[in-house]
């Protein structure tokens, strides 16, 4: 874990709500792994706590994040300009486990909303067949599909309103997919109801599944216990911190409440 001042290379608007930011921070870029995140001081008088953002890309001296304006913190971040600096801590958390994946496996990556940030980084590191399922309310919320295709992903889209791709939830698209194709592994990141359903599908089809939980985090380093989640442990459960032991967990071990 490193705390550093990172210089903004760009902070570009992708659509009405989504932005992509590049930061120069070689000490963090060097050690970042898919599934990890940074904790950002957005430097606003309106925002007291840092905000967590999944690492979208990491290489050389730079990292990138992908974020959606949903409150005062991300609103403040969207106003930052090139060459300004941000105080960031990272890389934080435990990322995705990929040791069992080989080039002959077919891996499905399932995202909803800003979950694309976490799983793009993973997809870019996987040396396997990659099917990327993206869920959104409507087509105007879809971002960076071309970038996914450029790194070798077969991309399929599900929109709630049917404005692009499959009409319905991305979890329903996954259910249809696992019935038709031999899938070796599932990775998912997005809203908790989506992850709960994906974990259920993976269990019923006996497919290993890892999920990245989007929990509210205050400290980001495991002290405040504000992001604790219930994880199965033998015949009972134990609390684990999304920022420390997670944010990635075995989807079939999470107690979904």
Predicted pLDDT at 46? 87
Owner of token pair 């109801």: 193
Residue 20 has phi, psi (to 5 degrees) of: -130, 130
**Per-residue pLDDT tens for 61-108?**
999 999 999 999 999 999 999 999 999 999 999 999 999 999 999 999
Tell me which DSSP letter residue 73 carries: H
Predicted pLDDT at 235? 85
Vertex 78 angle, CA 74 and 80, to 5°: 120
Section 182-203 average pLDDT: 96
The answer to whether 183 touches 106, Cβ cutoff 8 Å, is yes
Section 142-154 average pLDDT: 96
Residue 91, preceding peptide bond in cis (omega within 30° of 0): yes
* pLDDT band at residue 1 under the 50/70/90 scheme: confident
- How far, in Å, CA of 77 to CA of 156, rounded? 30
Render 156-199 in DSSP notation, one character per residue: EEEETTSSSSEES-HHHHHHHHHHHS---EEEEEE-HHHHHHHH
- How far, in Å, CA of 16 to CA of 87, rounded? 26
- How far, in Å, CA of 193 to CA of 106, rounded? 25
Closest CA to 123 of 94, 101, 91: 101
Per-residue pLDDT at 218 exceeds 90: no
Kindly state the percentage of the chain with pLDDT values over 70: 100
- How far, in Å, CA of 83 to CA of 228, rounded? 36
Return the CATH number of the domain spanning residue range 2-92.
2.40.30.10
Partners of 88 in the beta sheet?
A: 4, 40
Model's pTM, two decimal places? 0.95
Predicted pLDDT at 66? 96
Residue ranges covered by each domain of the chain: 2-92, 106-214
Closest CA to 169 of 235, 111, 108: 111
Predicted pLDDT at 225? 87
* pLDDT band at residue 208 under the 50/70/90 scheme: very high
The answer to whether 56 touches 188, Cβ cutoff 8 Å, is no
**Per-residue pLDDT tens for 40-71?**
999 888 888 999 999 999 999 999 999 999 99
**Per-residue pLDDT tens for 14-32?**
999 999 999 999 999 999 9
Provide the token pair at 82: 């090139």
Q: Is 163 left (phi over 0), alpha (psi -120 to 50) or beta?
A: alpha
Q: List the helix and strand counts (H, then E) for the chain.
A: 6, 15
Q: Which fold has domain 106-214?
A: Rossmann fold (3.40.50)
């Amino acid at each position: 874990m490193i705390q550093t001042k990172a210089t903004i290379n760009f902070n570009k608007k992708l659509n009405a709500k989504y932005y992509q930011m590049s930061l120069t921070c070689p000490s963090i870029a060097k050690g970042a792994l898919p599934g990890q995140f940074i904790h950002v001081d957005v430097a606003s008088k309106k925002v007291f706590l840092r905000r967590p953002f999944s690492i979208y890309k990491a290489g050389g001296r730079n990292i990138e994040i992908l974020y959606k304006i949903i409150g005062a913190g991300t609103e403040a971040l969207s106003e930052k300009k090139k060459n300004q600096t941000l105080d960031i801590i990272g890389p934080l958390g435990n990322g995705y486990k990929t040791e069992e994946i080989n080039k002959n496996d077919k891996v499905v990556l399932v995202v909803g909303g800003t979950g694309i940030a976490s799983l793009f980084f993973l997809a870019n590191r996987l040396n396997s067949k990659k099917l990327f399922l993206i869920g959104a309310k409507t087509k105007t919320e879809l971002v960076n599909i071309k970038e996914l295709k450029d790194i070798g992903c077969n991309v399929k889209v599900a929109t709630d309103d049917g404005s692009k791709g499959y009409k319905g939830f991305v979890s329903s698209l996954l259910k249809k997919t696992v019935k038709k194709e031999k899938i070796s592994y599932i990775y998912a990141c997005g809203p908790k109801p989506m992850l709960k359903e994906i974990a259920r599908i993976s269990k019923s089809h006996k497919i290993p599944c890892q999920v990245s939980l989007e929990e509210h985090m205050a400290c980001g380093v495991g002290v405040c216990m504000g992001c604790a989640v219930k994880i199965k442990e033998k015949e009972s459960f134990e609390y684990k911190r999304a920022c420390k032991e997670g944010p990635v967990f075995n989807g079939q071990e999470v107690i979904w409440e």
